[in-house]
Each structure stands twice: as structure tokens, then as C-alpha cells.
Amino acid sequence: MDLQTLGSYQGGAGPDFYEHVLHKTILVGDSGVGKTSLLVQFDQGKFIPGSFSATVGIGFTNKVVTVDGVRVKLQIWDTAGQERFRSVTHAYYRDAQALLLLYDITNKASFENIRAWLTEIHEYAQRDVVIMLLGNKADVSSERVIRSEDGETLAREYGVPFLETSAKTGMNVELAFLAIAKELKYRAGQQAGEPSFQIRDYVESQKQRPGCCSFL
């Protein structure tokens, strides 16, 4: 059985089962919104400040997340946001089980382009792909041009969960990937009697807001 088949398996699944399942997750969004930085923060817990070096093509990082005592393997693909790489990255959408779609709260165009990204996602990805909208760079409050409410409204319109994140401070970064892992685990191995998992409710109940909790 190949990994893809295992990934779409339905039915009771014990903890060992998940050791073999690889959930393909892709980061997409305009160039410069912080996709690579978000992945580095999640993978290594650090932020590398400095000059911006655009991703060329596509690459991935494997990461194991523990969800309710079960190890869930995510294969996270970081794509290049630049238009010239678009045809390359489209080819990767088809096998994706989850897509994290980013904009930059200090960049209006990156937010306005979200609808176009969603159109592409609906064209090239599987119909049941898990999508999450992320407004990144929430730490740069002085340059904010997109209000949290605007992100929330857009996410509600498309029926997807929404978080504001900061790849710099780490705000909500782990939560974004954890929520995706929980949803994928739930979908892959729903047990009889297990309470249903609602990713949007989960994210709403767990998220940090910009300015919140900086004393922690």
C-alpha cells in the first residue's frame, strides 16, 4: 500500500497506524508574505531576520506533530510565491491534503490576491483539501493595513479557519500546524463514538491575538 492510499484510509486506526501516514501540506501565497519564515519558525523555533531571499521552485520539510498522544507526520511543502513559478507549484496541489494560504497584514495586494489564490486552489487541488487562511507578520502592528476583521470576514465567506500569525515571534504558528494535523488525523481515522472535530471552533478557542500575552 503506498502512502497516498494509507493517507486516505477510513476506519478505526490505532496509534501505530499513523507512524506510516504522511500528510502532504503546502504553503502558498504571494512572494514575501513569510511562507519560508513560517516553516522555519515551526520546524526550528527561530526567525532569521535580514534581507529577503525569494524561494526558487519548491522544497519540503517533514515534521512530526503529536496530536492527542498520537504522532502525525506532516510533509510540509514550501512553494515559491513568484508568478514565474506558478505552473510548477500547481502540479503539487493535486496530492495535497492541506493548504496554508498566507497573506501579509502589511501588504494590501497580498490580501487582495487571496481570492485569486483560492480560485487556483479550487481548480488544481482536491475538492476536500483542508484550507486555512493566515494573516502573517502580525507583529508589525505599526505597518498594518489589513484589519483582523477583514481576514475573518474573508475566511468566513469561504468557510475556512483563520489565524493571524507571526513567523517572527511565533504567535499562532504551532497552533496553525497543530490544527491542520488534528483535522487530518480526525479525517483519516475517525473512531466510532469519537466526538467530531471542528477545526474552525478549535482555532477560535486556542488562538492568541496580536498584543496579547507578550508578558508570557
Ligand X SMILES: Nc1nc2c(ncn2[C@@H]2O[C@H](COP(=O)(O)OP(=O)(O)OP(=O)(O)O)[C@@H](O)[C@H]2O)c(=O)[nH]1
Residues that bind ligand X in the complex, under the rule CB under 6 A: 31-37, 49, 52, 54-55, 80-82, 136-137, 139-140, 166-168
Is the Cβ of residue 97 or residue 110 nearer to ligand X in the bound state? 110
CB of 44 to ligand X, least distance (A): 13
Q: CB atoms < 10 A from the CB of 204, how many?
A: 13
Contact 78, 36 (CB under 8 A): yes
Cell 480560485 maps to which residue? 119
CB of 126 to ligand X, least distance (A): 23
In sequence order, the β-bridge partners of residue 104 are: 136
188 closest CA partner among 41, 19, 60, 53: 19
Contact 71, 18 (CB under 8 A): yes
Is the Cβ of residue 18 or residue 111 nearer to ligand X in the bound state? 111
Q: State the maximum Cα–Cα separation within the chain, in Å, rounded to a whole number.
A: 52
CB of 65 to ligand X, least distance (A): 20
